[in-house]
């Protein structure tokens, strides 16, 4: 029991419901939500360590629901790709896996079925998932602990909202030696043996059947979810792209990025796995540092924003300087105003913006450099800042595989509201928020080649 107390004192752990484990319980339940993987998962490792201390088996409970905010068939298809990888890797560690889906998705009911002694969960800073965890903590009868498994430095340790990379970077670097450590991936001492008649869906079953769900946004053939594919993508990036990353990352026609954001969003791969692969790569330090800056500082700044600013998906999150600046430009005439349908259908006068929008619709992903330009043009072509912000969020969350994520909310807030940025020169519509134009953006890479690539892709989709 002393070791259990020590595990609870880990600074990564949030004790949501305290108390001793149920001595009559038969297992430890890991409630898997955001960290959908069996590799380098601190929350799962905690569950196994607790189980080993108490000599109890561990079972993972995973139950997708149709009312996950803004999720559609594209997102659930990618999620479903990863289920076999999870189950197979858990089995190799002696951990059970139970897959259920709405309406048979209740954690509390499941805990009663398997006689849980204690529950461990991962964390998600978004509003709705955090409320689900709070509700479980109020209702569950056994201890409930969670770990922030999808960042390296636990976000709660930062204690407040940071306003720029320059303010959060020193604190993150101070804490990295403590938390950027290899995960143990322990095996269960007592392997899971499923009780008779315990229900679990087949891994390959379409669990969305019968759901009221946005099915207009279909899955995409160019992306496949799962830890195995995530690891392959990481290895390919390290071997073929990382060396040139500082020079190529802002060239959409070269696609020199890691393309790991969907896997990080769904938790199919964790930041520790990526960070150690980058650190161990045989490339110049400048390339490693450039990628680690994005993975740790920028990504965890976004998580910090969502965790500590309840208005993360509203223009109320803007800074006072931006608020004052926009107020001075409320009546500015826009060069053109497009409606929602025109934007969604990529029906604007700007060929680069249209190509970026089509890349997102057709592939479920948009190059990061173009995401900035894409959002800023929505600001320029919308009747107000508030309308622009909601339009960008709506499109991003609907079509991007990595949408509905702190990175997306922070990125759009940066582009439209000046979040995590500084005041620039004053100009119409934008005020002092950083401006990007077609001419200046297109000069930084071969925009004509990128537009041609998307046109070819569009043609291939039309023929399919």
Q: 334 with 448, same domain?
A: yes
What pLDDT is recorded for position 7?
81
d(CA 49, CA 26): 15
In whole angstroms, give the CA distance from residue 111 to residue 105: 11
pLDDT for res 425: 94
According to the model, what pLDDT value does residue 1 have?
59
Same structural domain, 393 and 428:
yes
Strands (DSSP E) along 143-228, which ranges? Answer: 144-147
- For the chain, how far is it from start to end, CA to CA, in angstroms? 60
Q: Return the exposure string of 29-45: e unless at least 16 CB atoms fall within 10 Å of the residue's CB, then b.
A: bbbbbbbbbbbbbbbbb
Query: Does this model's pTM top 0.95?
Result: yes
Q: Can you give the pLDDT at residue 322?
A: 95
Last residue of a domain, one of 288, 308, 328: 308
Q: Are residues 93 and 129 part of one domain?
A: yes
CATH number at residue 118: 3.40.50.620
Count of structural domains within the chain:
3
Same domain, 387 and 455: yes
Q: Indicate if 283 and 400 belong to the same structural domain.
A: no
β-pairing verdict for 144-147 and 13-17: antiparallel
User: What are the residues whose beta carbons fall under 8 Å from the beta carbon of 386, sequence distance 6 or more?
Assistant: 315
For residues 11 and 84, membership in a common domain is answered with: yes
- Last residue in a domain, options 111, 133, 149: 149
In-domain check, residue 210: no
**SS3 (DSSP) at 170:** helix
Task: Note whether 430 and 379 are within 8 A (CB).
Answer: yes
Which domain, by its residues, includes 46?
A: 2-149
Q: Please state the length of the chain.
A: 464
Give the CATH number of the domain where residue 344 resides. Answer: 1.10.579.10
User: 160 near 309, Cβ under 8 Å?
Assistant: no
What secondary structure letter does DSSP report for 431? B
CB count within 10 Å of CB 109 equals 10
* 116-122/27-32 β-pairing: parallel
Nearest residue to 441 (alpha-carbon basis) of 349, 325, 350, 343: 350
For residue 463, the model assigns a pLDDT of: 81
Do 140 and 6 fall into the same domain?
A: yes
CB 97 within 8 A of CB 87: yes
Residue 158 lies in a domain: no
From the list 407, 400, 399, the residue with the least C-alpha distance to 312 is 407
Give the side-chain half-sphere CA count within 13 A for 282: 2
| Residue 266 forms part of a structural domain | yes
pLDDT at position 299 is: 98
pLDDT tens, per residue, the chain with 464 residues: 577 778 888 899 999 999 999 999 999 999 999 999 999 999 999 999 999 999 999 999 999 999 988 999 999 999 999 999 999 999 999 999 999 999 999 999 999 999 999 999 999 999 999 999 999 999 999 999 999 999 999 999 999 999 999 999 999 999 999 999 999 999 999 999 999 999 999 988 899 999 999 999 999 999 999 999 999 999 999 999 999 999 999 999 998 999 999 999 999 999 999 999 999 999 999 999 999 999 999 999 999 999 999 999 999 999 899 999 999 999 899 999 999 999 999 999 999 999 999 999 999 999 999 999 999 999 999 999 999 999 999 999 999 999 999 999 999 999 999 999 999 999 999 999 999 999 999 889 999 999 999 999 999 988 86
Six-digit token string for 157: 């340790």
């Amino acid at each position: 029991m002393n070791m259990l107390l020590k595990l609870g004192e880990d600074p990564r752990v949030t004790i949501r419901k305290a108390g001793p484990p149920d001595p009559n319980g038969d297992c430890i339940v890991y409630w898997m939500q955001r960290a959908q993987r069996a590799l380098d998962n601190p929350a799962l490792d905690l569950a196994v360590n607790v189980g080993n201390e108490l000599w109890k088996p561990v079972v993972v409970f995973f139950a997708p629901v149709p009312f996950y905010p803004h999720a559609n068939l594209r997102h659930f298809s990618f999620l479903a790709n990863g289920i076999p990888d999870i189950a197979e890797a858990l089995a190799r560690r002696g951990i059970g896996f139970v897959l259920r889906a709405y309406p048979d998705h209740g954690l509390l009911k499941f805990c009663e079925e398997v006689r849980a002694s204690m529950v461990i969960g991962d964390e998600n800073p978004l509003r709705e998932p955090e409320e689900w965890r709070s509700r479980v903590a109020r209702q569950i009868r056994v201890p409930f602990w969670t770990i922030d498994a999808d960042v390296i430095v636990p976000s709660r340790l930062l204690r407040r909202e940071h306003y720029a990379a320059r303010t959060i970077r020193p604190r993150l670097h101070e804490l990295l030696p403590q938390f950027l450590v290899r995960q143990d991936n322990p095996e269960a001492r007592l392997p899971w043996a499923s009780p008779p008649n315990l229900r679990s869906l087949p891994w390959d079953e379409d669990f969305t059947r019968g759901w009221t769900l946005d099915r207009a946004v279909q899955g995409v053939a160019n992306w496949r979810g799962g830890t195995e594919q995530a690891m392959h993508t990481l290895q390919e990036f390290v071997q073929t792209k990382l060396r040139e990353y500082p020079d190529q990352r802002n060239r959409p026609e070269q696609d020199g990025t890691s393309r790991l954001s969907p896997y990080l969003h769904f938790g199919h791969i964790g930041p520790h796995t990526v960070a150690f692969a980058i650190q161990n790569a045989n490339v110049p330090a400048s390339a490693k540092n450039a990628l680690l800056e994005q993975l740790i500082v920028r990504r965890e700044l976004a998580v910090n924003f969502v965790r500590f600013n309840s208005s993360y998906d509203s223009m109320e999150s803007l800074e006072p300087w931006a608020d004052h600046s926009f107020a001075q430009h409320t009546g500015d005439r826009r060069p053109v105003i497009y409606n929602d349908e025109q934007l969604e259908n990529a029906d604007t006068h700007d060929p680069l913006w249209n190509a970026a929008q089509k890349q997102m619709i057709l592939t479920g992903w948009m190059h990061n450099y173009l995401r900035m330009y894409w959002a800023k043009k929505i600001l320029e072509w919308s009747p107000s800042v508030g309308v622009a912000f909601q339009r960008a969020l709506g499109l991003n969350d609907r079509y991007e595989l990595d949408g509905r994520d702190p990175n997306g909310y922070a990125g759009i807030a940066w582009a439209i509201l000046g979040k995590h940025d500084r005041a620039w020169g004053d100009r119409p519509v934008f005020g002092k928020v950083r401006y990007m134009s077609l001419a200046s953006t297109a000069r930084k890479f071969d925009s004509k080649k990128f537009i041609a690539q998307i046109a070819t892709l569009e043609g291939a989709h039309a023929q399919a």
